[in-house]
Amino acid sequence: MSTVKKAATALISVFHKEGLEPIVRKLDDLGVTIYSTGGTEKYIKELGVRVIPVEEVTSYPSILGGRVKTLHPKVFGGILNRQDQESDVAQLEEYNIPQLDIVIVDLYPFEKTVSSGASEQEIIEKIDIGGISLIRAAAKNYKDVLCVSSMDDYELFLDLISEGQGSTTLEQRKAFAKKAFDISSHYDTAIFQYFDDSKEQGSFKISEQHGKVLRYGENPHQRGYYFGDFDSVFDKLHGKELSYNNLLDIDAAVNLMEEFRDESPTFAILKHNNACGLASRTTVKEAYLDALAGDPVSAFGGILISNTPIDGPTAEEIHKLFCEVVIAPDFEDAALEILKGKKNRILLIQKKAVLSDRIVRTCLNGYLVQDKDLKTDSKELLDYVTKNKPSDRELDDLIFASKICKHTKSNTIVLAKNGQLCASGTGQTSRVDALNQAIHKARTFKFDLDGAVMASDAFFPFPDCVEIAFSAGIRSVIQPGGSIKDHLSIDYCDQNDMAMVMTGTRHFKH
């Protein structure tokens, strides 16, 4: 039997009718018999196109307030019958069931209804039953039926039937079936997520329909993909295609800068997901220059992000640096003209989008899922554990350093002074190594650490870190606390007039 099928009939029942008219008219021109129901039937009639109500086929009206319209053997028999099996064809004739060659059905907008803040009853009513059943049936029987399950495919479908004069190949029908199962599985996942509000079901489901093939993964020999609606978070104004590593760095940059939302102009430079420079100042230009001073070597090829629109004078300074990406809430026209001078430089305007509050990563043969670390240390929650108390300036720097520390790979130590990142030790197996790395780096770039502060992502099990910090000129420390030997570090600070505050919150980042 030929795999090419010429359609003689179509069932159309859709919620979204935008773009449907050209399809209806083309099917009519091709002599295709159209069946429909409810609002779609009325729509087709108003176009002046002949349409047969489904009720004429089933001999049943739409009942239960529209909840049951197409759930009937005469509808599903017309979709699920196997044309290459004589017994199926015979039963169609016996029960007077019309063969349905094309099924055009979409789903109630469940996700949109949930996000609108609708009532529970309104949301429940948007759980599609008939539509998803028709989609699954038609997609299952792709050997004989073509299923169009989204208005996003209307144009492709119209081109297909126009070029083939109503005929489609098995390969084409299978491709549409694949899309249909993508839509139906995503829809069911969204419904489960709505009911699983406590996240305690013991079942993990995730579905994302926006996908993009990247040039490669973390390295050129690895394939890479991004699944997500990037355009809902950013407007991309200029530059080359984003890479896998670009996206990881952008994610790190956005989460870090979220700590400084609505604060004074703050600029950060990141490399390999860690801040190598960050400063808060009265102007964005000053913030950028002091962030760059934190590590002008690592800044080469980095990701730049500002919490403030970038102006022309700042852009002139940025333009002197080779950087992969620049992110800001906006760019002045003069800044754009300058920054577009490098054709590959990626320029992104960050929108006020809602980001995920969970972190997912693969682990062994499964997944690890956790809440995102959304707790930011604040002055009001500090525990002042030493005799000497930090000054107001030191308190500001301690919170500043703690915010950076939270977004730096563990083990980490962050050194800061006057609203500027002096240096950090990142991703070390020992906290002492992280501190020594930070001190060495700060001195390499000529920072005076006298009066600087130190932040740690986790507690000090021994006093060695405060001893090293004191020798470097640091006089104020912020750390979570929680070690059974906290008193050793506290005692050392008291003996040397150092100030230490504890947050009670660990900020590991692996």
Confidence bin at 402 (pLDDT 50/70/90): very high
| Whole-number Å distance between alpha carbons of 455 and 329 | 28
Tokens in use for 150? Answer: 């989204």
pLDDT at 71: 76
Confidence of residue 2 (pLDDT cuts 50, 70, 90): low
pLDDT per position as a tens digit, 230-287:
999 999 999 999 999 999 999 999 999 999 999 999 999 999 999 999 999 999 999 9
- What is the 8-class DSSP label of residue 109? -
* 108 pLDDT above the threshold of 90: no
Whether residue 379 contacts residue 491, with contact meaning beta carbons closer than 8 Å, is answered with no
Average pLDDT over residues 385-414: 97
Alpha carbons within 13 angstroms on the beta-carbon side of residue 190 total 22
Which tokens sit at 162?
């126009």
pLDDT of 96 strictly over 60: yes
Position 101 confidence tier, pLDDT thresholds 50, 70, 90: very high
Task: Give the pLDDT band of residue 453 (cuts 50, 70, 90).
Answer: very high
Q: Is the pLDDT of residue 205 over 90?
A: no
What is the mean predicted confidence (pLDDT) over 45-69?
Answer: 83
Question: Which has the closest alpha carbon to 453: 482, 423, 427?
Answer: 423
Question: Which amino acid is located at 436 in the chain?
Answer: N
- Per-residue pLDDT band for 146 (boundaries 50, 70, 90) equals very high
Q: Which of 6, 16, 140, 240 is catalytic?
A: 140
User: For residue 47, what pLDDT is reported?
Assistant: 94
Determine the average pLDDT of the residues in 68-76. Answer: 80
- The predicted pLDDT at position 201 comes to 61
Give me the mean pLDDT over the 363-385 stretch.
93
pLDDT one-digit tens code per residue, 217-226: 999 999 999 9
Q: What is the 3-state secondary structure (H, E, C) of 401-470?
A: HHHHHHCCCCCCEEEEECCEEEEEECCCCCHHHHHHHHHHHHHHCCCCCCCCEEEECCCCCCCHHHHHHH
Q: Of 129-133, 398-402, 489-493, give the lowest mean pLDDT range.
A: 129-133
- Residue 404 pLDDT more than 90? yes
Q: What is the pTM of this model?
A: 0.86
- CA 70 – CA 11 distance, rounded (Å): 10
Q: Give the β-pairing of 5-6 and 266-271.
A: unpaired
Q: Report how far apart the first and last C-alpha atoms of the chain are (Å, whole number).
A: 58
* The predicted structure's pLDDT at residue 482: 94
What pLDDT is recorded for position 88?
87
pLDDT tens for each residue of 157-190: 999 999 999 999 999 999 999 999 999 999 999 9
Q: pLDDT band at 58, cuts 50/70/90?
A: confident
68 pLDDT more than 80:
no
Of 72, 184, 77, nearest in space to 128 by CA: 184
pLDDT score recorded for residue 353? 86
pLDDT value at position 429? 95
Of 499, 489, 445, the closest CA to residue 468 belongs to 489
H/E stretch holding 243: none
Residues of the chain with pLDDT > 70: what percent? Answer: 99
Tell me, rounded to whole angstroms, the distance of Cα 467 from its chain centroid: 43
Alpha helix ranges (H) inside 148-243:
154-164, 170-195
Give the β-pairing of 5-6 and 146-148. Answer: unpaired
Instruction: Note the pLDDT of residue 256.
Output: 97
Q: How many residues are listed for the chain in this entry?
A: 510
Long-range CB pairs of 443-452, under 8 A, 24+ apart, other chains included = 445/293, 445/294, 445/295, 445/296, 447/415, 447/417, 447/422, 447/423, 448/417, 448/473, 449/415, 449/417, 449/422, 449/473, 449/474, 451/394, 451/417, 451/475, 452/397, 452/415, 452/416, 452/417, 452/422
Per-residue model confidence (pLDDT) at position 197: 78
Is the confidence at residue 411, as pLDDT, over 90? yes
How many CB atoms sit inside 10 A of residue 71's CB?
A: 15
Active-site residue, 140 included: yes
Identify the active-site residue in 74, 186, 272, 319: 272
For residue 70, pLDDT over 80 is answered with no
Q: Which helix (H) or strand (E) holds 383?
A: strand 383-384
Let me know if 389 is a catalytic residue: no
Q: What is the mean pLDDT of the chain?
A: 93
